[in-house]
Structure 1
Amino acid sequence: MKQLKLYNTQQNHFEVERKFKFDGSKVILLEKNNGKKLFDNVTFISEKSFTDVYYDNHSENYPLTTNDIWLRNRDNKWECKTPVNLTASMDSYHELDDTNVIKEFLDKKLDVNKRRSENIHYNNEEFKDFLFKKYNLTPICTITTQRRNYLLNNKFTMVLDTADFGHSVGEIELIVESQNKVQDAEKRIAFFMKEHDWFFETDGIVMGKLLAYISRFNKKQWECMNNSNMLKKKLFPETLDNVVTK
């Protein structure tokens, strides 16, 4: 049970993560810890399926996703990932999972001039209606993911995802308790991935599930994100070599 808590990000925690491509034929080598460079420890945690519904404002050119803000409902739980932007090579987020905190954040971010949202706890459907009425936020996509969770070297959380539209991507993550630990986590991840580059493929463009979905199915949103310059960091992050030599 202690290991499973690694996947629960509380509001005072920060996620530091790097996506990678992976060869499905090498997963068995990973799980048997029989690759070119051995891990200290490989622990398979679980395999699960979940469905994400992401939200934004279509008519206002997607003010959330163009600013690297990801509001979603995952299996009836609301989450909002907000960027920390303390690294040039990896994504770093502060995750909000309380609806009142999410409302307060959206009021400020979307510059809502109306009366501030009251601290009312909504159920799933009520909050969805609230998002539409208050901010004009509606679903932009629905993605079902098959995920395999691992713990590597008793430190690094790793997930291997396959989305229902055929896109696969992996992610290495560390969770830290304060912003001043984000850059150290970035360097630790970079060293780790370079050490085991037989499995972690980071050359070329590595696209997460949502970006891959938008690039294929929503040309308007893709253009808006490109115009915001947010895509440049996502698609062309600082190399791992640069991180480890800082």
Structure 2
Amino acid sequence: MALRTTRTLLTRVTQPSPARQTAKTKPTTILEVERKFRRLTVPTLTDICATKNNDHYNPNFRSVLPFPTRTIHDIYYDAPDHTLCTSGGAWIRRRNGEWQAKVKRGGDFVNSRFEELRGVQEIRDCIRSILGGGISLKQEGENFGLERLAEFVTTREAWLVDGEFKVVRDRMDFGHEVGEVELQVEVPVGDAEEEKGVLIMEEMDRRIEEFMKNYAWAWECGEAVGKLTAYFEMVRRKNGGV
């Protein structure tokens, strides 16, 4: 019964009613669940569905829709003691010039659950809620009073698989590669921190796990290393670290 209720909630948020699209609707936020993988086992997912009688692609994807390849310039920011990411579970960045924040809502490194914030005021409120009076927050143009943590450029390939799962392959300009399978839903702001939001993300995670097990041939075995972890390791080696 609980699973059926959760699926009803998920259907409700992934298929907005016309009323949600009017100017008077409640503010919404994005819930994202992702599972990382090390690499794809194939050069590209494009045209995989057209491959017939190949035991390697068994079962084959039902559909694959490629997204345009993107170039992403990320600059990550944090307090001098890295409080936001280490204690607050928040990653603040400027992506191609636009402020974004990802706030952890559960899971672990490989299997992650986030709320995404895009509005400047929402991001400012998030920073204040974590840092309190520990830092003097300045104006937007001064990076909320935060320091630059990391900067790199990513080439992103992505595909919509089976009509709903976004498969991403990221290749960074410092030589690292990592992929992930994502699901996103839009929910009213208040739902993100309530039991309803937890149930929705649990169901999203279950569906991603099932999807990846079904197409296990597509993901290379081995530990997935995230972009920031790989970046800091690159910096450490460059500075002569062991």
Give the TM-score, by structure 2 length.
0.72
Tell me if structure 1 keeps the 8 A contact 2:101–2:116: yes
The structural deviation recorded for 1:20 is 0.6
2: CA distance, partners of 1:158 / 1:106: 30
Q: How does 1:67-216 map to 2 (within 5 A)?
A: 67=87, 68-85=89-106, 90-112=111-133, 127-132=140-145, 137-176=146-185, 177=187, 178-201=197-220, 203-216=221-234
Tell me if structure 1 keeps the 8 A contact 2:73–2:95: yes
Tell me if structure 1 keeps the 8 A contact 2:65–2:160: yes
Range that drifts further, 80-89 or 137-146: 80-89
The structural deviation recorded for 1:85 is 0.8
Tell me if structure 2 keeps the 8 A contact 1:42–1:152: yes
The structure number with the bigger radius of gyration is 2
Measured against aligned partners, the alpha-carbon deviations of 1:134-188 in whole angstroms (never above 9, x if no partner) come to xxx1111111000112100001011111000011111110113333210111111
The structural deviation recorded for 1:56 is 1.1
Tell me if structure 2 keeps the 8 A contact 1:14–1:179: no
Measured against aligned partners, the alpha-carbon deviations of 1:52-93 in whole angstroms (never above 9, x if no partner) come to 0000123x2x11121332100001100010010157861000
2: CA distance, partners of 1:207 / 1:130: 27
2:39 pairs with 1:31:
no
Structure 2 residue identity aligned to 1:96: L
Range that drifts further, 47-56 or 63-72: 63-72
| Cα gap change, 1:192 to 1:47, in 2 (>3 Å) | same
2: CA distance, partners of 1:72 / 1:195: 34
The structural deviation recorded for 1:216 is 2.4
Which ranges in structure 2 are unaligned for 5 or more consecutive residues? 1-26, 52-56, 188-196, 238-242
| Cα gap change, 1:199 to 1:115, in 2 (>3 Å) | closer
Q: How does 1:53-68 map to 2 (within 5 A)?
A: 53-58=75-80, 60=81, 62-67=82-87, 68=89
The structural deviation recorded for 1:21 is 1.6
In angstroms, what is the RMSD of aligned CA positions? 2.6
Q: How does 1:31-50 map to 2 (within 5 A)?
A: 31-33=47-49, 34=51, 35-50=57-72
